[in-house]
């Protein structure tokens, strides 16, 4: 489902892949059954390629990884959380256009 520059985040690897990353990481909390999640997935794949080396994209399936979703109080999906130096710095809830998502990436790249 994810593009080549998109990593799969899980409850097991979240601390290493996201919090331990030296590159800002946008985490997409999603689920297979979520229509808006499927709408933004190709946009996130494109942005992951455009921002390669500057911003990472990780996808976390909330159904398969409930602990991490609960830790960040994810109540609605898609939710995008942006982590920089291990800290949560930005949040976006809901689907958005590519220009809006690009603006989110620009704030941390």
> Domain segments of the chain: what residues?
6-106
* Contact residues for 45 (Cβ-Cβ < 8 A; gap 6+): 2, 3, 5, 6, 57
pLDDT at 1: 47
Is residue 41 part of the annotated active site? The answer reads: no
Please pick, among 6, 7, 27, 37, the residue that the annotation labels catalytic: 37
Query: In order along the chain (109 residues), what is the average pLDDT of each group of 10 residues?
Result: 81 97 97 97 96 96 98 97 96 96 94
> Which of the 8 DSSP states describes residue 17?
I
Superfamily in which the 6-106 domain is placed by CATH: Glutaredoxin (3.40.30.10)
Whole-angstrom distance, CA of residue 67 vs CA of residue 50: 30
Is residue 85 part of the annotated active site? The answer reads: no
pTM score, whole prediction = 0.95
Please pick, among 9, 34, 47, 69, the residue that the annotation labels catalytic: 34
Closest-CA residue to 8 (of 86, 53, 50, 64): 64
């Amino acid at each position: 489902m994810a593009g080549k520059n998109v990593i799969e985040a899980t409850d097991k690897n979240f601390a290493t892949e996201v919090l331990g990353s030296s590159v800002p990481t946008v985490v997409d909390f999603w689920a297979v059954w979520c229509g808006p999640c499927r709408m933004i997935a190709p946009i996130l794949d494109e942005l992951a390629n455009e921002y390669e080396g500057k911003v990472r994209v990780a996808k976390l399936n909330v159904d398969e990884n409930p602990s991490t979703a609960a830790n960040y109080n994810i109540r609605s999906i898609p939710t995008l959380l942006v982590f920089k130096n291990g800290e949560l710095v930005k949040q976006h809830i809901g689907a958005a256009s590519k220009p809006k998502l690009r603006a989110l990436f620009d704030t941390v790249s």
